[in-house]
């Protein structure tokens, strides 16, 4: 059967790295014997200008119908108000597709120096639909409000169901992928009720996985430990905002956000998404590193059980980044976006069957 993927390029460097990702995905699928349809949809400023919304309803419907979504970066901080069509496409898709888990591996690359000199190999399971995120933590209305001038408040949503889903996803991944430890990151010493509920659920889940070590670390300590000793962590499971912050830190320690893959996962749908932003300052200059989005697409293919295609992409990325001659300029190499994607395609086509 033909695999249908919806490609949403987004803003800034999005169209460039999406073009690179599409040629690599098509090469990997072809090499592994899988036919793929890569349909395009418009989000962000192009959609706002054409449709009056940064994520039109037909895009949401197409995302629900596709086997998977590849989501480029968006410039949502520069959008107009929600009332004027300026929705965050990432937040909308996460909510509409019930993408409760944001899975973000941080793994250093052979031959590429890390900021601290220490190797990194961990994965963060970030709850994706709750927490302090005002665009998705309530059925209706914002999670932030100003009761009187000069006073702003935010509500944090933590539920047993949300904690159960992300906790079980983290433990299932650990058990299925040879990971030995799951660490719950929290701030229950201050947020005793909300993070207390989160930890209660995680402790209950942990009893069902006797072969997986379980521990708990305060979020401030976790940030320090990631810098001092990233090998201390294997699988991290945490709430929305903590996961957002710590995954960026872990990815930088592994080599940079430009290399960081991520997958948004729900019961029925999944979306690959670059961890970094839209970088409008270098848009159109063929300077963007497409590794993050390409690696995210590989994660999506793996989730869709296209193991060979996933492996072809990941091995090609490791080979290209290991060689200074085939790195992009942000990594000190000579290649632009298009040339780097061509190197990956050549490596895929030359790979042993």
- Please give the pLDDT value at position 133: 80
Confidence (pLDDT) at 299: 98
User: Across the 353 residues of the chain, what is the mean pLDDT of every consecutive 10-residue run?
Assistant: 96 98 98 97 97 97 98 95 94 95 97 94 96 73 86 93 98 97 97 97 98 98 97 97 97 95 98 94 96 98 97 98 96 97 97 77
User: The tokens of 225 are what?
Assistant: 């430990």
326 CB-side CA count, 13 A: 18
DSSP state letter for 328: B
Q: Is 50 helix (H, G, I), strand (E, B) or coil?
A: helix
Residue 144: per-residue pLDDT: 84
Q: Which residues are catalytic?
A: 133, 187, 220, 244, 248
CB 340 within 8 A of CB 326: yes
> Would you state the pLDDT for residue 134?
66
Tokens 């052979």 belong to 110
Helical residues (DSSP H) of the chain, grouped into ranges: 14-31, 44-51, 57-65, 89-96, 160-176, 194-206, 219-228, 240-254, 291-303, 307-322, 337-350
Question: Which run of H or E residues covers position 243?
Answer: helix 240-254
């Amino acid at each position: 059967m033909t695999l249908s993927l919806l490609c949403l390029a987004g803003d800034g460097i999005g169209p460039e790295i999406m073009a690179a990702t599409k040629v690599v995905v098509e090469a990997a699928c072809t090499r592994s014997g899988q036919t793929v349809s890569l349909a395009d949809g418009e989000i962000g400023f192009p959609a706002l200008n054409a449709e009056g919304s940064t994520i039109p309803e037909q895009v949401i419907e197409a995302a629900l119908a596709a086997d998977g979504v590849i989501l480029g970066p968006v410039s949502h901080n520069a959008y107009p108000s929600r009332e004027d069509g300026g929705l965050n496409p990432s937040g909308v898709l996460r909510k509409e597709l019930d993408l409760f888990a944001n899975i973000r591996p941080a793994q250093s690359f052979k031959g590429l120096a890390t900021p601290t000199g220490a190797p990194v190999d961990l994965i963060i399971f970030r709850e994706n639909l709750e927490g302090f995120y005002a665009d998705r933590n309530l059925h209706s209305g914002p999670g932030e409000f100003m009761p009187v001038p000069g006073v702003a408040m935010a509500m944090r949503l933590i539920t047993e169901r949300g904690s159960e889903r992300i906790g079980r996803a983290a433990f299932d991944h650990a058990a299925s992928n040879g990971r030995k430890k799951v660490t719950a990151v929290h701030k229950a010493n201050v947020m005793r009720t909300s993070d207390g509920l989160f930890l209660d659920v995680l402790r209950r889940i942990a009893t069902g996985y006797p072969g997986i070590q379980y521990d708990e670390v305060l979020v401030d300590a976790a940030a320090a430990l990631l810098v001092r000793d990233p090998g201390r962590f294997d699988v991290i499971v945490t709430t929305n905002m903590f996961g957002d912050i710590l995954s960026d830190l872990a990815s930088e320690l592994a080599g940079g956000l430009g290399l960081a893959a991520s997958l948004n996962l729900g019961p029925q749908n999944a979306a690959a998404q670059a961890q970094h932003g839209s970088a409008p300052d270098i848009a159109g200059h063929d300077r963007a590193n497409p590794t993050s989005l390409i690696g995210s697409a590989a994660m999506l293919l793996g989730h869709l059980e296209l193991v060979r295609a996933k492996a072809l992409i990941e091995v090609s990325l490791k080979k290209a980044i290991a060689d200074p001659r085939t790195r992009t300029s942000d990594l000190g190499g000579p290649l632009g976006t298009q040339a780097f994607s061509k190197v990956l395609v050549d490596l895929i086509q030359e790979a042993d069957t």
